[in-house]
Amino acid sequence: MDARWCSLALAVHLALAPFPARSAPPPLAYRGGSQGPVTFDHQRHARAGWTCRDCHTVFVPTGRQLFQTWKQGRITRDDHAGRTRCFACHDGKAAFDTCGQCHRGP
């Protein structure tokens, strides 16, 4: 995916929704496989202008849904390489793609 699409989508969200939802779910913790646990912080994404619907319905830059259901955190190695799910934006261009930013320890 082109980083320009993520940047454009973020700019549109910030312009149209300058006040993110105040009731974002609490951070979610996942085992993270052999790379160490991962914590997903909804508030951090909400402060950047993203809403639940951005990832849980059709994500404009890719034209497809990134996560089928809320509460589904299964991410595979193929997702990492295929630039799906989190990696639609976290590609090292639109947003960081450093493993240690998400995976914390073994």
Q: Smallest Cα–Cα separation from 67: which of 89, 43, 84? A: 84
Specify the pLDDT at position 104. Answer: 79
pTM of the model: 0.64
Q: Tens digit of pLDDT for each residue in 59-96?
A: 888 888 888 765 656 788 888 888 788 888 888 888 99
Compute how many other C-beta atoms are within 10 angstroms of the C-beta atom of residue 105. Answer: 8
Domain boundaries, the chain: 3-102
Specify the pLDDT at position 106. Answer: 59
Structural fold of domain 3-102: Cytochrome C3 (3.90.10)
Q: How confident is the model at residue 14 (pLDDT cuts 50, 70, 90)?
A: very low
Contact 94, 6 (CB under 8 A): yes
